[in-house]
Chain A
Amino acid sequence: MDWECVIGLEVHVQLRTQSKIFSGASTAYGAAPNTQACAVDIGLPGVLPVMNREAALMAARFGIAVDATIHPVSVFARKNYFYPDLPKGYQISQFEIPIVEGGHLDIETPEGSKTIRITRAHLEEDAGKSLHEDFHGFTGIDLNRAGTPLLEIVSEPDLSSPEEAVAYLKKLHGLVKALKICDGNMQEGSFRCDANVSVRPKGESKLGTRTELKNINSFRFVEQAINFEIDRQTTLLEEGGRVIQETRLYDPDKNTTRPMRSKEEAHDYRYFPDPDLPPLTISEEEIRSLRESMPELPDARYQRLVRDYGLTEDEASQLTQDLEWADFFESLVTAADGESRLSVNWLLGDLASALNREGLAISECPVSTQQLGALLKRIKDGTISGKIAKKIFATVWENGSDIDTIIEREGLTQITDHNAIEAAVDTVIASFPAQADQVRSGEEKVIGFLVGQVMKATAGKANPKGVNDIVRKKLLG
C-alpha cells in the first residue's frame, strides 16, 4: 500500500526581550545556575507576575508578518502540573484566547510554492532546567530559564513530507530572526520544535493517529526524526498494528524515537484564566505603529535581490533564508563598487565553504565585507587573478590583514605584460615538445596541461585566460 504522511509543527520561539516575561530578571543565556532567577521566577510565596509589554509587541509583530489576526484582548491561563523545574506548579500560558490566531507562511517545494496555515501563536513562560548529571543520584534544578518569554507557533497539519517540514522551519527561523524577535540560536534552545506526525493510506482523507515528537533541536534532526517516525508508523500499520497517540522523545545519538513515560500523558492540565493577570490588551493604535515599523521581510528581500542585483532565484533564496547573509551580501556589493555577480559568487562559494568548514555563522565571519570587497575590486581591475585571490582570501581568513598590503608584500600582482607571458609560453612549449605536438595534431584538451605549466612557472600570477589565448595562437595559429 502507498502511504502518505501528515505533519504539523509546534515551534517554541524564545523572544529576544531583555527581561523575563513576568519579572525583571535578565534573560541572558549561560549564567551560573540560579543566578538569574528572582523571587518571581522561583515562585516564592506571595510574589506576583507582571507582564513584560515588549514580549506582547514582539508576538504582535510576528502576527502582522504572517498576516494573522491579532486579538485586541487575549487571556493568560494557568497550565497546572507538577514538575521540579516548574516552580509555581503551573505554567502561565495562553489557552482559549491566544494573542495571534490564523495566518500563513508560504514555502517552496519541488512542486512550487505551498501555503502552510498557522493555527495560532501564543505567549507563555519557559520552565527551568533539570540537571541530571554531576549530582550523584540527585537532580539539580537551574531556574535561570524559568520565565523566559516564548511564542509557541502552531501550524495546521499542512506539511506532507519531512522536507516540507524543514522548509517551513527554515522559513520560520529566517522570519523570526528578520523580525528581530528571536536570536534563532538552536543550540541554546532559542528555537525548538515539536512535530506531530501521522500516516494514512494515500488518498485517504481521514487523519491517522498521530504521535508527538519532542526534543528536536536542529533542522537535520527534524528531518531524521520525522523520517524515522514515518517508517515506524508505516511498518506498524502494515504489520496490522495500531499507532498509539503518545509523546515520543527523539534520540539523535541512536536516531530513534521512544515513548516518554505514559504517566506524563495522563495530564489534565486544568487550565483556567490566571487571576493574577488582567487580560492582555493591544490597541489598534499599537498595531498600526508596529505595522509601520515592520522591517523588510525575507520574501520582499528575495524579490528585491532578484530585481536589483540580478541574482538567480536560487541565490536570492539562499541569501534570504537568514537575512544576515543578505545584509552581508549588500554590504559586500557596496564595498566591491557594485560588483554584485562577483560578490554573490564569492559569498556563496569560497566564503560559504570556509564558514561551513569552520562551523561559523555569517555573523562570526573573520573576513569583513570591506576586506572581501577590496579583494573583489582587485580581481575586477585585473591586479590579481582569481587563483591568487583565493590564496589571498585564505591569508586574510587566517591573519586578517589588508588586501593591498598582502598583494604588494607577496608580489602577487598579476602579470599583465604580454611579452613576459609570451616568453613564459615559449619556454613551456620548448620544455614539453611532445605535448605541444599533440595540441598541434588536434588534441585540444592537452592545452590545459600547457596552460597549467605556464601558470606554475609564473607562480600563478599570469592571467590564465590570457595564457590560454597565447598557447592556442602559437600552436594552432
Chain B
Amino acid sequence: MIPLLLAQMTEPRVMTDADFWRAIGIASTGLVIVFTALILISLFIASLPRLLEQVARIWPEVEESASHTSHPGSQVADNAAVVAAIGYVLHTEMQKQMAAERSHANKN
C-alpha cells in the first residue's frame, strides 16, 4: 500500500522538451542572478572600509555619536558598563602598583 502510494506520489509527468528547457533556463538564470547580487554586495562590503577611509579625511567619524540615540535607556546601560570598566582597570593598576611596591620593599 505504502510503496504504491509513494510510487504514485513520485510518478513524473510527461514533460515536453520546451517545458524542460524552460525549467532549466529559469533555475540556472535564477541561481546566476542570486550569485551576481550577493557577489556585488560582497565586493561592496570588501571595498567599504577603504571607501570610508577616504570619506573620513573630509568628514571624520564622531565616536560619541551613540550619545545622540533617542533611547535614554541605552545611555544608562552604557554608563554603567563604562563605570564598571574604569573600576576594573583602576583595581588592576592599583594591584600591579602595590605588588611592585612590595617587591621593591622586599629587595631593600
Q: A and B: partners?
A: no
